[in-house]
Chain A
């Protein structure tokens, strides 16, 4: 086969193959200007709008669903309405000296209960259950009434 024959076959085959592709066979496609505009919209504006919408939904959900009752700050000890600690703690029959820790309770005393006098009487009186009645009478009896057998009072003689 001469080069001319081969080249002729080549030209004929290439022309036939390319002629098999017609304009009707092509898929409809936009020209690059329109395709680029659409690309700009899909690449920039759609994500931006989606981000703004998500942020708006998050802010709205936070505003609507956040707890409304806020916890009040703890009151300072000086601001308690009653300077006296709860006297009912002295009525407990526990002989243990840990009952004195109830003095530090910040529970305010009710207004219906009359004040029992000096707050210094409640400390020693809580040690003895039998002396709870007279303990509230006076501050001077608080010392001997502590109920301790080793106390050097007149009752020990």
Chain B
């Protein structure tokens, strides 16, 4: 009886990638997404590494326990990035105001003035608005997917995206 239950059907699917393979495949895209959130490559790498480590501690190598590992990782990176932005906002409240740093010449040549202006305007959004803008316009996720990833309602996604676009339009000086 036991042999019949623990047959091939009960085994771990062979198609489930190991955590190391998932790390190799998804590290760079997740770091890029975290950079879009926190504007700092080192912090973004730390965020992604922490998320992978927590993922491994919780599930070990058994990725079959997670329905969608990719969505889990995106959700973890987004939540960690939001925490970083919140901590920065709290720290900024106790620091004297300072002017925005001038972009480096290399960054200016790489991105272009127009893109830098848009990235600067993104930095003035709230953390939740920025999450939704990145997932909507960089990850090309639908409102329902964003809602599932961030564990909020689809209506909240829609209203937050609308407010974010309004703020961006005002920041970029266009009517």
Which residues does chain A contribute within 8 Å of B42, judged by CB atoms? 27
Q: A1 with B23: in contact, given A21-B31, A21-B35, A29-B45 (CB under 8 Å)?
A: no
Query: In the complex the two chains form, is A33's CB within 8 Å of B19's CB?
Result: yes
**What number of A-B contacts does a CB cutoff of 8 Å give?**
94
Instruction: Determine if B110 is an interface residue (Cβ-Cβ < 8 Å).
Output: yes
The one of A1, A11, A15, A17 that contacts B174, using a Cβ cutoff of 8 Å:
A1
Instruction: Determine if B79 is an interface residue (Cβ-Cβ < 8 Å).
Output: no
Query: In the complex the two chains form, is A6's CB within 8 Å of B165's CB?
Result: yes
Instruction: Determine if B13 is an interface residue (Cβ-Cβ < 8 Å).
Output: no
Q: A18 with B32: in contact, given A7-B137, A33-B19 (CB under 8 Å)?
A: yes
Which residues does chain A contribute within 8 Å of B55, judged by CB atoms? 32
* B contacts with A: majority SS: helix
Query: In the complex the two chains form, is B36's CB within 8 Å of A36's CB?
Result: no
Instruction: Determine if A10 is an interface residue (Cβ-Cβ < 8 Å).
Output: yes
Query: Quick one: closest B residue to A8, CB to CB?
Result: B137
Instruction: Determine if A60 is an interface residue (Cβ-Cβ < 8 Å).
Output: no
Query: In the complex the two chains form, is B111's CB within 8 Å of A10's CB?
Result: no
Distance in Å: Cβ of B18 to nearest Cβ of chain A: 8
Instruction: Determine if A93 is an interface residue (Cβ-Cβ < 8 Å).
Output: no
Within the assembled complex, what's the spacing in Å between the Cα atoms of A29 and B20? 12
Give chain A's interface residues, CB within 8 Å of chain B.
1, 3, 5-7, 9-23, 25-27, 29, 31-33, 35-36
Give chain B's interface residues, CB within 8 Å of chain A.
19-20, 23-24, 27-28, 31-33, 35-36, 41-42, 44-45, 49, 52-53, 55-57, 61, 107, 110-112, 114-116, 118-119, 122, 133-134, 137-138, 165, 168-169, 172, 174-175
8 extra interchain contacts, Cβ-Cβ under 8 A, other than A6-B169, A16-B111?
A13-B111, A13-B116, A14-B134, A14-B138, A17-B115, A17-B119, A29-B45, A32-B49
